[in-house]
Amino acid sequence: MLTDRTRIENLDTVIANLPPGSVIIFRDYDLPDRMQAARALIGQAHKRRLRLLIGGDGGLSAHLRADGVHLPEYRAREALRWKRLRPNWIVTVAAHSVPALRHAERYGADAALVSPVFPTASHPGSQTLGSVRFSSLVRGTRLPVFALGGIDATNCGQLRQSSAVGFAGIGFYSEEPQK
């Protein structure tokens, strides 16, 4: 689950509905009180046996003793550095293409978030992969891949035959839990 304070009304409720073992990626890059928000979030996460990765800031992640870092695609090379400094960390990388997945693999990322699979509110108008191209990308890598972008209860089944290990998202996890 990725945070986005502009799209998730009640983050506490979303976190309460995540199953133990889930990973939260704290994005919210523009928050003026980002360190305080991350500190509060790590407390919540660990209390619920969730893991917290700090988006784009390994230094903040190390300072707060988070569980790792999520890097943007253009910073995939940093995965190698963070894995050497913090071998127990989870290091994920964003990827949008085969070359990006290869970079994430080469630099030792633990997993990649491939996007956008479907149209998404986070990046309106962006070209999407669709389920067929997404599945093809995933098959071409040894790296565990999570589908990201526009995933919801109606389209996640289209990815069932892909080799993705799971879903990542914002809106998907802020929806009402399925009964």
pLDDT score of 177? 45
How far apart are the C-alpha atoms of 134 and 45, rounded to whole Å?
30
pLDDT at 77 over 60: yes
Instruction: Give the containing element (helix H, strand E) for 92.
Output: strand 90-95
**7-39 confidence digits (pLDDT tens):** 888 889 999 999 999 999 999 999 999 999 999
Percent of the chain predicted with pLDDT > 70? 96
Q: Which of these ranges, 90-94, 108-112, 132-136, 157-161, has the smallest mean pLDDT?
A: 157-161
What is the chain's mean pLDDT, rounded? 91
Strand partners, 24: 52
pLDDT score of 175? 52
pLDDT at 178 over 60: no
pLDDT at 66 over 70: yes
- Residue 166, judged by CB atoms within 10 A of its CB (0-12, 13-18, 19+), counts as middle
Q: Which domains does the chain have, with CATH numbers?
A: 11-174 (3.20.20.70)
Instruction: List for the chain the helix, strand, coil content (%; round to 5).
Output: 35, 15, 45
